[in-house]
Amino acid sequence: MHKYTSFMTKNVATAGVASTPARALGVLALCFFFNFVSRGIGDTYMVFLLPLQSQFGWQRAQMTSVYSTLMLVAGLASPVAGLVFERFGPRVLYAGGVALLGAGYLIASQATQLWHFYAGIGVFVGLGGGAVGMVPAAALLSWWYRGRMSSAIGVAYAGFGCGSLVMVPLAQALIDAGGWREAYAWMGIALFVLCFAALWLPWRAITAPRPAPESRPHGSDAPRPLRAAFAQRRFWLLVQVMFFTALGMYLVIVQSVVYLVDVGFTPLQAATAFGAAGMLSVVGVSISGWFSDRFSPRKAATISFIGTALGVAMLYALTYRASEVLLIAYVLLFGVCQGARGPVVAGLSARMFAGPGQATVYGAIYALMSIGTGLGALLSGALHDWTGGYRAGFLLALVAIAFAAAPFWMPGNALVLDDSGPIT
């Protein structure tokens, strides 16, 4: 994160307050941290699967559907998170979101039936993750970073990957030390401590550059920000980018480890490849934001889509021959480009729909993206069952990636993304 300091702090928005580079970096670190918590807490569920299956004997599909519920709820909660942010501010949203995460973990620690996990992990953790994720972060950073907004958002997005890398092994260590119930309980308690800490953050200084709300005359027929966004084609083009990106990625990610084992790699090699790809995504999301600001959103997105498509092609090639060279190529290409579209679209959304309502608009984009996430995860398993293999899923992922990239190159569309940036 330090390599961005020198140029991002030059673009801090003063907005009539005594903004400082240190304060701006503090806000960026805050957004990174809460993204770290949001994704890390959600992804820990993966290491609870085996101990839960061992104790309760539930089918794998029953348990993985809890994670699908979590992801779907987190996405669909994003517009609500945006509304809470706009109406009550980040203090209420962040503290409430962390409290929901803690409550979900404490519910899971006492669970005895599958529906308890749907409630605690699927609903409570999903709602909490949606509340403290990228929706409030994008709005906060848009107040502090003007000329390098995508760069700042890219650093904040890197918190997702770092959260998975740190929290998942930590959860496994807690399970090994005291069992899955104690792991859930201790992490739930820690989250409630964090909730109280969030209430005492210097929110007045953090929200100092917040733009004044637009006046709406009594009886005005002017559309509210979200309704106005729905009427604009560029909003739906951003939705297209995110929806089909999520669809394509989760057609691949969900079964990537078991697929690599099926084609001949050891479980350790498969898990290492998955972890390495996740680690590289931290680099990719950070660079994509800077590249978008330095060159153009179109070029940043296009390069990332090409890299993702080539990575999927490497996986497809592995169905014919288990080659370590192909595996390394997949990890490098797919890993670096994983999540790279997020900072680009978040930056575009912040510029195109700037002002009051911005968080709600981005929350709506994020929610519609989550439908693609859930659909991709479901189709991944369904196509495998229908065809007895993985090739159909990989081919559909390539089609989805093409649809995701299309808005950046459609001639004469409402989303103009050339070297000068978007037309607002």
Interval 305-364: pLDDT, tens? 999 999 999 999 999 988 999 999 999 999 999 888 988 888 888 888 877 777 888 888
Nearest CA to 340 out of 291, 392, 293 is that of 291
Angle between helices 233-253 and 391-405 (to 10 degrees): 160
The reported pLDDT for the residue numbered 413 is 52
Looking at the fold, whether 104 and 167 belong to one and the same domain comes out as yes
The reported pLDDT for the residue numbered 67 is 80
Q: Examine residue 174 and state whether it is found in any structural domain, yes or no.
A: yes
Looking at the fold, whether 228 and 199 belong to one and the same domain comes out as no
Q: What is the pLDDT of residues 62-108, one digit of tens each?
A: 777 788 788 889 888 888 998 899 889 999 999 999 999 999 999 99
174 in helix, strand or coil? helix
CATH number for the domain spanning 107: value is 1.20.1250.20
Looking at the fold, whether 178 and 240 belong to one and the same domain comes out as no
CA distance 114 to 372: 25
CB 325 within 8 A of CB 190: no
Q: Examine residue 387 and state whether it is found in any structural domain, yes or no.
A: yes
Query: CA of 117: how far to CAs of 68, 114, 303, in Å?
Result: 12, 5, 39
Q: Examine residue 10 and state whether it is found in any structural domain, yes or no.
A: no
Q: Examine residue 363 and state whether it is found in any structural domain, yes or no.
A: yes
Residues 6+ apart with CB under 8 A from 62: 114
109 in helix, strand or coil? helix
DSSP 86: H
Q: How confident is the model at residue 223 (pLDDT cuts 50, 70, 90)?
A: low
The percentage of residues in the chain with a pLDDT greater than 90, rounded to a whole number, is: 37
Q: Examine residue 4 and state whether it is found in any structural domain, yes or no.
A: no
Nearest CA to 94 out of 21, 27, 24, 186 is that of 27
Q: Examine residue 416 and state whether it is found in any structural domain, yes or no.
A: no
Q: How confident is the model at residue 163 (pLDDT cuts 50, 70, 90)?
A: confident
- Average pLDDT over all residues of the chain: 83
Q: Where are the alpha helices (DSSP H) in 77-148?
A: 78-88, 90-109, 114-117, 126-132, 134-144
Looking at the fold, whether 290 and 235 belong to one and the same domain comes out as yes
Task: Give the number of domains in the chain.
Answer: 2
The reported pLDDT for the residue numbered 147 is 66
Residues 6+ apart with CB under 8 A from 204: none
109: Cα separation from own chain's centroid: 26
Q: Examine residue 13 and state whether it is found in any structural domain, yes or no.
A: no
Average pLDDT over residues 165-194: 91
Residue whose structure tokens are 């790809």 = 277
14 in helix, strand or coil? coil
> In this structure, how many other beta carbons lie within 10 angstroms of the beta carbon of residue 87?
10
Q: Examine residue 134 and state whether it is found in any structural domain, yes or no.
A: yes
The reported pLDDT for the residue numbered 412 is 61
CA distance 362 to 370: 12
Angle between helices 134-144 and 21-43 (to 10 degrees): 170
Domain limit, last residue, from 162, 182, 207:
207
Looking at the fold, whether 125 and 262 belong to one and the same domain comes out as no
Domain limit, last residue, from 179, 207, 235:
207
Average pLDDT over residues 379-394: 86
Nearest CA to 43 out of 157, 160, 180, 158 is that of 160
User: What is the number of alpha carbons within 13 Å of residue 380 lying toward its C-beta?
Assistant: 25
Q: What is the pLDDT of residues 227-256, one digit of tens each?
A: 888 888 899 999 999 999 999 998 888 778
Looking at the fold, whether 189 and 242 belong to one and the same domain comes out as no
Residue 20 has pLDDT above 80, yes or no: no
Looking at the fold, whether 281 and 367 belong to one and the same domain comes out as yes
Residue whose structure tokens are 């090409």 = 306
Domain that holds residue 98: 21-207
Looking at the fold, whether 116 and 165 belong to one and the same domain comes out as yes
Looking at the fold, whether 304 and 362 belong to one and the same domain comes out as yes
Looking at the fold, whether 72 and 138 belong to one and the same domain comes out as yes
Residue 417 has pLDDT above 60, yes or no: no
CA distance 233 to 235: 5
Looking at the fold, whether 137 and 267 belong to one and the same domain comes out as no
The reported pLDDT for the residue numbered 214 is 53
Residue 419 has pLDDT above 90, yes or no: no
